[in-house]
């Protein structure tokens, strides 16, 4: 909305009214009828490949209706500030792309949706593929359409270093991890005496702390796809998108791409690449390192992109990461979950990968061979289930072979990460490595209000960071390695007191049960750190010694479905706070009648079609140590993490030395277009698919 | 609890059971039957004055019952590690204090409270007054009681600098301000285009960022009294206490004291002292700079302490701050709210202060005279009421004269702070100054779930910090001044989407109304920064241009009373979310029937006797710039802020050059004991007193 005033001075007043209807948007990043993607205010790394998409919209009906005939004669120029504006094809020395046309519909607001009165928009479009800007400075990209209307995009190519200051970069992402959660995790795992902690978290010991803003391009709340993309490419995008700006075309694989850190680093320095996650590996945070689509739910094609790179357009060559460890066997077992029904275990093996399907095999895998490790279907069972309440594991059917037996020989984040370092160190050699290691279920368990499981996985992350530092010391690589620990977004979680679970359970009505909550002085001290002689988990010094004390944390979120709270740990497996009382497609979630039966009901603050909690706005912490650590203090945007890493790795290419970027772009091939058409992009439907596909645990739409 | 295992190896197993009953505590900081205050794990500034309180407890009944005869023959020794243990009186070269005796009662848990079966404890005690440890290093203080039982307190005197590196220190406290709130405030006040902010907050520009842990000594949730005390003295304490460790004696003014930054700085360097707050000036955050009591609600006596220092014991001489600006005329107008019914306007005037009761007078006040400014009763009306929805001001009866007319000539935090700097700069001269400036109503308005008013006051703080930097530049003092902006604790607040207020209001049932909430991509962009031609507040570039858009922030907390949400700004004055449906003394709060009548009900997560939201656990941010800024990066405890400031100001006195600390301590006088006995320390009653006293706005018990 805000850019409307600046960009489209000629726009009619009615436009401003329309674009103010924010909860629905005609096209994010395009508040006027002429769209330039990348949009106004975009920053680039010098030499970073990207596509340009232009669209001219002609609304047929609705508040913007202009006759419904989109301009086929629009023009587009690029000007480096101080130089002359040139037609883009000429500027980039590529052929003028062909004109494309399509239609799409959208709702202007909730009233229109209730009345089922969509607005129809006709579109003319062009796409300039795989271009780059090399010289640092300011650029002006101008779309001229409708005989005199302009959309102006001001772009900046940042002036960064070409010198490589860090040999290795390890980026830990605690998905959904906020400062509030770190504080709670510290409280349950580390003993304090009279207010002084006797030990602290590894994160607490980092020398540099920053905050990053996580908002999306076109919404102030993000999901893990587009926030990961911002961290990996320096470009914010739209919810559910990764490695692309979102266009309005039917194909989810033709949206304008931006090159990621993995692609650039492979191209410039040839470093080893590692991807580790406790999620299914096609999930947004791991797969956005290599993925380019506006629909994160296209899991099968995204796994193919991870192995083969982009194949429907000429793009940076990529032939798979050196390490690819996680879960989500559904995309590897041949069948409906895998791309073109192929066996991706075989595809990876054929590409030279060792393939590990359990922890024993993982630990024995060669350190000099590329390595695939897929340890179960869906997400990896969480730390609490793998280490404390292990009975749940036997109830699962998540063997990565697809034989519907439980996967019991499971690594955790620490085992995967340490093995990954061995391989990356061996394979990267003097060229170093880049690894992203994700603690995914902090977010996933916060979504389902399972605070214990979320905090357990946060502590597993901290323990992993601790072990990583020790490992790097042993390898003599600590001083060569930039370590960053951050999140991609938050949840509005906090601890507000203690709950006397015995008293709560003994009371007969909801209001009396609430009196079991102790606040301020009655919160008392953490009992999770008080040894109980009858309990021993052998989980080490960085974890609670009692997960089930009488006095637990009273905690929660501000955004939730209807649910019931008793503040006790869930011992028989992950929590399901709300269930669908009407069923697909008219979702209506209410308290799960089997959850916390002795608790009190808290009615929700979210739309009743939401099964879970949702992401929040808050800035998230960034912990940094190693070369370039000083770049990560203070407050900045998530894209600055990409630029800081790129700066530290010397990835800027301020001249077009190779000339490859200016070669003629290729025409779209059908590979992913075909794949995409096989999966509906309609939201409700792919939620259904995801839920069907992931037999175990909860998979939210936006995680 | 946790210290029980370490300290009292001889304690019986039954003790562990008792002390595990955390929501009630026999005495915080004393998990065993022998109490040493300051307790185990205490850190000291070299030369900082403090009192020692020893107690031996003899429970008459309850799970700890030991016959009910407290040991009158306990002994106490001090040992510098490496030296010999000496009797404390001999170590400090003071007379052995007299034995004291009293009884107290407490409840072991909620069941005991419901059954009204208190446990009775008999006590023997001694207090060593105004002692100090000078030599940096480790000390062991040992209480021997019950013929062989020991309580050991390990103390550390930190090795710090004596050199003064900063001439001035300004400590801004955003009461209750979290990172989540800063993110929300940025979103409503600063325009962004395609995800790039076109301007940011002053806090975002600080070079150094840290996190401080805010937990109490004996509870993981703090209030503003004991967290302020930790920031000002380096000693954590108990909820409702400031400048003391909490003992179990009846007198709220005989608890063992610790010297504050204001007292130490006055004693060592004679710098000018400024206290500025938007709260009533006897409120915890401002008054803890000079106050020593375990009961923050003793407002009248605390104002007397601010002016005259401690008068019931020999203590650091203090004759009032140079600047004392805020609200809370109740303690100045002669009557039930003032100490000994005296006129404290007159008391301050007689002590040489200029007295300003409105903004006009404030701005004209002499810069070379000590200055008192009290601008209304209760708290200062918030920024939103003073600048946007000003109609509310006319409904108030808060004139500081007590004439029950509205106070309309009001300064804000910025005017008070800038005037304070003028005075402190003039009066401090070469000796420099220390100022604490508090944005109090971030917390107060979060308590009442009035998010707009809370964020408005957060933006006022940011605007004030910005203006302060400009002011210091103009005075040539910026490079001499350490500026810290932090909070004392948090609230579990976050933004999770947007609300279409038009749609919400149009729906007829609570569940349909919730569908007005847009999450993820449907959150959209901030409309608070979109100019509406019909609205102009003239509030400047650091504030929203529209506080009442159709699409507002969907936001909230995890801990709340029953209330109703419509996510609209409250235009007719501060929000009252819940009202007492049974009335004192059996409080039972339910949805205020007059609040947000078109909204949906959210039932609470707090005890039903809580009228408001409560504080939360989260670490809070610390922003630092100026001399010693490098000390404030990373993660640390709130007490480290005191030690870092002391280090930067060279306040450590590692030798007893003056010898004053070792003089014989004086006997307790009756001054504050008498005052205290006039105000019940029973919680419910003083809540009632506070509510009666503060006619306007909401005053929570713990704020």
Kindly state whether residues A666 and A685 are assigned to the same domain: yes
Domain boundary among B96, B131, B158: B158
Instruction: Pull the structure tokens for residue B324.
Output: 């004392």
**What is the rounded distance in angstroms from the CA atom of residue A530 to the CA atom of residue B245?**
24
In 3D, which of B290, B289, B165, B176 has the Cα closest to residue B224?
B176
Q: Are A530 and B2 in contact (CB under 8 A)?
A: yes
pLDDT tens for residues A491-525?
999 999 999 999 999 999 898 999 999 999 999 99
In 3D, which of A331, A336, A221, A349 has the Cα closest to residue A282?
A331
User: Element (H or E) spanning B265, and its range?
Assistant: helix B261-268
Residue B585 preceded by cis peptide, ω within 30: yes
Nearest to A558 among B22, B195, B556 (CB): B556
Q: Are A547 and A671 in contact (CB under 8 A)?
A: no
Instruction: Pull the structure tokens for residue B619.
Output: 């670490």
pLDDT tens for residues A595-627?
999 999 999 999 888 899 999 999 999 999 999
pLDDT tens for residues A24-64?
899 998 989 999 999 999 999 999 999 999 999 999 999 99
Kindly state whether residues A175 and A33 are assigned to the same domain: no
Q: What is the mean pLDDT of residues A411-424?
A: 98
Q: Would you list the DSSP string of B53-120?
A: EEEEEEESSSTT---S---S--EEEEEETTS--EEHHHHHT-PPPPPEEEEEEE-SSHHHHHHT-PEE
Of B20-29, B254-263, B281-290, B307-316, where does mean pLDDT reach its minimum?
B20-29
Do the strands A100-106 and B196-197 form a parallel or antiparallel pair, or are they unpaired?
unpaired
**B605 to A496: CB separation less than 8 angstroms, yes or no:** yes
In 3D, which of A316, A301, A321, A217 has the Cα closest to residue A253?
A301
Q: Is residue A599 part of a domain?
A: no
B327 — pLDDT class (breaks 50, 70, 90): very high
Start-to-end CA span in chain A (Å): 26
Gap from A567 CA to chain B (nearest CA, Å): 11
pLDDT tens for residues A294-308?
999 999 999 999 999
Q: Is residue B501 part of a domain?
A: no
Nearest to B23 among A5, A498, A608 (CB): A498
Nearest to B23 among A109, A531, A551 (CB): A551
**What is the rounded distance in angstroms from the CA atom of residue A698 to the CA atom of residue A703?**
10
Q: Is A489 annotated as a binding residue?
A: yes
pLDDT tens for residues A577-588?
999 988 766 789
Q: Are A251 and A673 in contact (CB under 8 A)?
A: yes
B23 — pLDDT class (breaks 50, 70, 90): confident
For residues B27-52, one letter each, b for 16 or more C-beta atoms within 10 angstroms of the residue's C-beta and e for the rest, the string is bbbbbbbbbbbbbbbbbbbbbbbbbb
Model confidence at A700: pLDDT above 60? no
B161 — pLDDT class (breaks 50, 70, 90): confident
Which long-range contacts does A352-355 make (Cβ < 8 Å, 24+ apart)?
A353/A320, A353/A324
Model confidence at A379: pLDDT above 90? yes
pLDDT tens for residues A223-271?
999 999 999 999 999 999 999 999 999 999 999 999 999 999 999 999 9
pLDDT given for residue B177 in this prediction: 98
In 3D, which of B206, B191, B190 has the Cα closest to residue B542?
B190
Kindly state whether residues A12 and A137 are assigned to the same domain: yes
B679 — pLDDT class (breaks 50, 70, 90): very low
Start-to-end CA span in chain B (Å): 26
pLDDT tens for residues B94-113?
999 999 999 999 999 999 99
Q: Are A426 and A369 in contact (CB under 8 A)?
A: no
Q: Is residue B518 part of a domain?
A: no
The residue among B27, B156, B192, B220 with the most chain A CBs within 10 A of its CB, best to mutate, is B220
* B63 annotated active-site: no
A202: domain CATH number is: 3.40.720.10
Kindly state whether residues A216 and A109 are assigned to the same domain: no
pLDDT given for residue A8 in this prediction: 29
B24: domain CATH number is: 2.60.40.10
A678: Cβ–Cβ under 8 A, 6 or more apart, which residues? none
Q: What SS3 state is found at B573?
A: coil
Q: Is residue A684 part of a domain?
A: yes
> By CB neighbour count within 10 A (0-12 exposed, 13-18 middle, 19+ buried), where does A391 fall?
exposed
For residues B424-444, one letter each, b for 16 or more C-beta atoms within 10 angstroms of the residue's C-beta and e for the rest, the string is bbebbeeebbbbbbbbbbbbb
Number of domains in chain B: 2
Q: What is the mean pLDDT of residues A115-137?
A: 97
Q: Catalytic: which of B3, B119, B224, B665?
A: B224
Q: Are B344 and B357 in contact (CB under 8 A)?
A: no
In 3D, which of B412, B403, B265 has the Cα closest to residue B326?
B412
The residue among A23, A236, A589 with the most chain B CBs within 10 A of its CB, best to mutate, is A23
Kindly state whether residues B269 and B135 are assigned to the same domain: no
Instruction: Specify the DSSP class assigned to residue B558.
Output: S
User: Element (H or E) spanning B645, and its range?
Assistant: helix B638-649
In 3D, which of B225, B262, B220, B224 has the Cα closest to residue B246?
B225
φ, ψ for residue A439, nearest 5 deg: -90, 90
pLDDT given for residue A586 in this prediction: 76
Kindly state whether residues A359 and A477 are assigned to the same domain: yes
% of chain B exceeding 90 in pLDDT: 85
pLDDT tens for residues A181-192?
999 999 999 999
Q: Is B283 annotated as a binding residue?
A: yes
Q: What is the mean pLDDT of residues B621-627?
A: 98
Residue that is written with structure tokens 């579990």 in the block:
B492
For residues A288-319, one letter each, b for 16 or more C-beta atoms within 10 angstroms of the residue's C-beta and e for the rest, the string is bbbbbbbbbbbbbbbbbbbbbbbebbbbbebe
Indicate the angle between helix axes A224-233 and A261-268, nearest 10 degrees. Answer: 30
In 3D, which of A32, A29, A23 has the Cα closest to residue A64?
A32
Q: Is A615 annotated as a binding residue?
A: yes
Kindly state whether residues A97 and A183 are assigned to the same domain: no
Domain boundary among A113, A131, A158: A158
Angle at A490 between CA A111 and CA A514, to 5 degrees: 85
**What is the rounded distance in angstroms from the CA atom of residue A324 to the CA atom of residue A82?**
46
**What is the rounded distance in angstroms from the CA atom of residue B554 to the CA atom of residue A135?**
42
> In the predicted model, what is the mean pLDDT of chain B?
90
Q: Hey, CA dihedral for B412, B413, B418, B419, is it positive or negative?
A: positive
Model confidence at B663: pLDDT above 60? no
Nearest to B2 among A191, A515, A523 (CB): A191
Kindly state whether residues A173 and A234 are assigned to the same domain: yes
Q: Are B52 and B127 in contact (CB under 8 A)?
A: yes
Domain boundary among A158, A187, A213: A158
Q: Is residue B382 part of a domain?
A: yes
pLDDT tens for residues A626-651?
999 999 999 999 999 999 999 999 99
Residue that is written with structure tokens 């500081």 in the block:
B400
pLDDT given for residue A22 in this prediction: 55
B185 contacts on A by Cβ (under 8 Å): none
**What is the rounded distance in angstroms from the CA atom of residue A15 to the CA atom of residue A183?**
46
Q: Are A433 and A273 in contact (CB under 8 A)?
A: yes
pLDDT tens for residues A330-339?
999 999 999 9
Kindly state whether residues B293 and B235 are assigned to the same domain: yes
Q: Are B495 and B555 in contact (CB under 8 A)?
A: yes
> By CB neighbour count within 10 A (0-12 exposed, 13-18 middle, 19+ buried), where does B214 fall?
buried
B222 contacts on A by Cβ (under 8 Å): 520
**What is the rounded distance in angstroms from the CA atom of residue A4 to the CA atom of residue A280?**
39
pLDDT given for residue B22 in this prediction: 55
Q: Are A372 and A669 in contact (CB under 8 A)?
A: no
Range of the domain at A655: 168-492+615-693
Q: Are A24 and A106 in contact (CB under 8 A)?
A: yes
Gap from A324 CA to chain B (nearest CA, Å): 29
Which residue(s) pair with B355 in the sheet?
B372
Q: Is residue A567 part of a domain?
A: no
Q: Are A134 and A655 in contact (CB under 8 A)?
A: yes
Do the strands B481-486 and B168-174 form a parallel or antiparallel pair, or are they unpaired?
parallel
**What is the rounded distance in angstroms from the CA atom of residue B234 to the CA atom of residue B247?**
18
Kindly state whether residues A134 and A173 are assigned to the same domain: no
Q: Is residue B80 part of a domain?
A: yes
How many A-B residue pairs are in contact by the CB < 8 A criterion? 418
pLDDT given for residue A387 in this prediction: 97
Residue B38 preceded by cis peptide, ω within 30: yes
Model confidence at B372: pLDDT above 90? yes
Q: Is B175 annotated as a binding residue?
A: yes
A572 — pLDDT class (breaks 50, 70, 90): confident
Q: Are A524 and A498 in contact (CB under 8 A)?
A: yes
Gap from A577 CA to chain B (nearest CA, Å): 16
Instruction: Kindly list the distances between the CA atom of residue A299 and the CA atoms of A296, A305, A335, B697, in Å, as whole numbers in the listed order.
Output: 7, 10, 12, 54
Q: What SS3 state is found at A445?
A: helix
Q: How many CB atoms lie within 10 A of CB A611?
A: 22
**What is the rounded distance in angstroms from the CA atom of residue B300 to the CA atom of residue B291?**
11
Q: What SS3 state is found at A7?
A: helix
User: Element (H or E) spanning A92, and its range?
Assistant: helix A88-92
pLDDT given for residue B162 in this prediction: 87
> By CB neighbour count within 10 A (0-12 exposed, 13-18 middle, 19+ buried), where does A59 fall?
buried
pLDDT given for residue A449 in this prediction: 95
Kindly state whether residues B106 and B12 are assigned to the same domain: yes
Kindly state whether residues B225 and B320 are assigned to the same domain: yes
> In the predicted model, what is the mean pLDDT of chain A?
90
Gap from A284 CA to chain B (nearest CA, Å): 15
* pTM (two decimals): 0.92
Q: Is residue A593 part of a domain?
A: no
pLDDT given for residue A499 in this prediction: 94
pLDDT tens for residues A434-472?
999 999 999 999 999 999 999 999 999 999 999 999 999
């Amino acid at each position: 909305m805000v850019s409307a005033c600046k960009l489209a001075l000629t726009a009619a007043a009615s436009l401003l009214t329309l674009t103010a209807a924010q909860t629905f948007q005609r096209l994010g990043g395009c508040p006027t009828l002429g769209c330039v993607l990348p949009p106004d205010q975009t920053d680039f790394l010098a030499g970073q490949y990207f596509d340009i998409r232009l669209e001219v919209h002609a609304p047929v009906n609705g508040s913007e209706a202009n006759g419904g005939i989109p301009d086929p004669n629009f023009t587009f120029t690029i000007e480096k500030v101080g130089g002359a504006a040139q037609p883009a094809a000429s500027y980039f020395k590529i052929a003028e792309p062909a004109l494309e046309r399509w239609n799409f519909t959208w709702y202007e607001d909730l009233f229109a949706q209730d009345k089922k009165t969509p607005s129809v928009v006709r579109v003319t479009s062009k796409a300039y593929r795989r271009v780059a800007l090399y010289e640092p400075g300011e650029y002006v990209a101008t779309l001229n359409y409708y005989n005199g209307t302009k959309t102006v995009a001001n772009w900046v190519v940042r002036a960064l270093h070409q010198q490589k200051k860090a040999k290795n970069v390890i980026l830990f992402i605690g998905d959904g991890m906020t400062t509030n959660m770190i504080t709670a995790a510290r409280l349950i795992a580390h003993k304090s005496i009279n207010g002084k902690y006797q030990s602290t978290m590894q994160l607490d010991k980092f020398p540099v702390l920053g905050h990053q803003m996580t908002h999306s391009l076109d919404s102030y709340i993000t999901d893990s796809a587009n926030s990961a993309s911002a961290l990996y490419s320096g470009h914010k995008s739209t919810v559910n998108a990764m490695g692309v700006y979102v266009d309005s075309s039917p194909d989810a694989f033709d949206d304008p791409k931006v090159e990621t850190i993995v692609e650039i680093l492979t191209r410039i320095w040839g470093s080893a690449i590692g991807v580790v996650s406790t999620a299914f590996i096609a999930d947004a945070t791991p797969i956005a390192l290599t993925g380019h689509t506006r629909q994160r739910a296209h899991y099968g094609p995204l796994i193919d992109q991870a192995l083969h790179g982009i194949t429907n357009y000429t793009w940076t060559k990529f032939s798979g990461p050196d390490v690819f460890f996680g879960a989500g066997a559904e995309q590897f077992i041949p069948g409906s979950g895998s791309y073109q029904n192929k066996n991706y275990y075989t595809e990876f093996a054929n590409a030279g990968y060792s393939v590990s399907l359990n922890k024993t095999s993982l630990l024995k895998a060669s350190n000099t061979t590329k390595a695939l490790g897929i340890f179960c279907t869906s997400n990896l069972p969480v730390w609490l289930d793998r280490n404390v309440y292990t009975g749940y594991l036997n109830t699962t059917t998540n063997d990565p072979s697809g034989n519907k037996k439980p996967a019991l020989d499971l690594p955790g984040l620490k085992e995967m990460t340490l093995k990954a370092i061995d391989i990356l160190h061996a394979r990267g050699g003097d060229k170093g490595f880049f690894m992203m290691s994700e603690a995914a279920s902090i977010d996933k368990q916060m979504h389902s209000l399972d605070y214990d499981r979320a905090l357990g996985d946060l502590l597993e992350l901290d323990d992993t960071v601790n072990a990583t530092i020790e490992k790097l010391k042993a390898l003599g690589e600590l001083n060569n390695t930039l370590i960053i620990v951050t999140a991609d977004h938050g949840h509005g979680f906090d601890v507000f007191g203690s709950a006397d679970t015995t008293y709560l359970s003994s009371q007969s009505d909801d209001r009396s049960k609430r009196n079991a909550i102790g606040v301020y002085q009655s919160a008392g001290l953490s009992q999770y750190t008080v040894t109980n002689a009858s309990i021993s988990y052998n989980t080490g010094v960085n974890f609670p010694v009692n997960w089930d004390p009488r006095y637990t944390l009273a905690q929660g979120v501000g955004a939730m479905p209807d649910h019931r709270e008793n503040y006790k740990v869930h011992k028989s497996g992950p929590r399901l706070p709300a269930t669908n009382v009407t069923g697909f497609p008219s979702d209506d979630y209410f308290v799960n009648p089997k959850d916390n039966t002795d608790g009190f009901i808290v009615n929700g603050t979210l739309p009743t079609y939401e099964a879970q909690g949702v992401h929040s706005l808050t800035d998230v912490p960034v912990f940094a140590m190693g070369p370039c650590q000083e770049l990560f203090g203070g407050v900045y945007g998530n894209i600055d993490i990409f630029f800081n890493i790129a700066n530290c790795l010397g990835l800027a290419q301020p001249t077009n030395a190779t000339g490859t970027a200016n070669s003629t772009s290729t025409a779209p091939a059908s590979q992913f277009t075909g794949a995409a058409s096989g999966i509906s992009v309609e939201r409700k439907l792919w939620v259904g698919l995801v839920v069907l596909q992931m037999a175990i645990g909860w998979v939210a739409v936006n995680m």
